[in-house]
Amino acid sequence: MKTKEVRVTKTTDIDSKVNQLVLQLKDLHLNGVKDADISHQLFALGTKTETIQRIEKVILDPIESLSDMVNEMDDKVKELVGFIANSFFETKKDILESVYKGNAGRNILHYSVVLKKDNQKNRKAIFTFFDVYDCFSFSSKYPVHFQFTPREMVDKIKVKEVLTFV
């Protein structure tokens, strides 16, 4: 299985990332308005843009279109939850040897956690993630699982991503 390394950024970099995301959302919104206008003009001339084709698909098969949109939203929420988990791990890097993200299902995030010192205190520190996460209404639809893995078993983990901390 191909693995991907993900760098977890420092908290001080978060403001920069938030700023970038806001600018991207702004551009996306403006581009959407421009695309709709251009698509409308081209459609009047008989040309079907990708936007027009998506609209036609919604009209012709609304159930499949709705399913596609739900899947896209699920992927975005799962990506956001992954960012939250990665940020949490960054705050606990002093007790972590390594963290591996695996494939566990459509909306499930699964992490194999290797502690520098595997003891009750460190495990409890990792489980504090759920003190906050389980308060969110979406936590049951997008579950997160942590599995403590001994160093000797790391080579048995089916890895999708290896988290590294800066």
The pTM of the full predicted model, rounded to 2 decimals, is: 0.66
What are the residues whose beta carbons fall under 8 Å from the beta carbon of 92, sequence distance 6 or more?
125, 126
Report the distance separating Cα 163 and Cα 6, nearest Å: 5
Q: Which residues pair with 103 in a beta bridge?
A: 109
Of the two residues 5 and 106, the one the predictor is more confident about is 106
Report the distance separating Cα 163 and Cα 93, nearest Å: 10
Helix and strand totals (H; E) in the chain? 5, 5
pLDDT tens sequence across 120-142? 999 999 999 999 999 999 899 99
What are the residues whose beta carbons fall under 8 Å from the beta carbon of 12, sequence distance 6 or more?
none
**Tokens linked to 38:** 């251009």
Among the listed ranges 22-36, 59-73, 83-97, 105-119, which one has the minimum average pLDDT value? Answer: 22-36
Average pLDDT, the chain: 82
Q: Is 146 helix (H, G, I), strand (E, B) or coil?
A: strand
| One-letter amino acid for residue 55 of the chain | I
pLDDT over 70, % of the chain: 80
pLDDT over 90, % of the chain: 36
Q: Which residues pair with 163 in a beta bridge?
A: 6, 99
pLDDT tens sequence across 24-69? 666 666 666 677 778 778 778 888 888 778 878 888 888 998 898 8
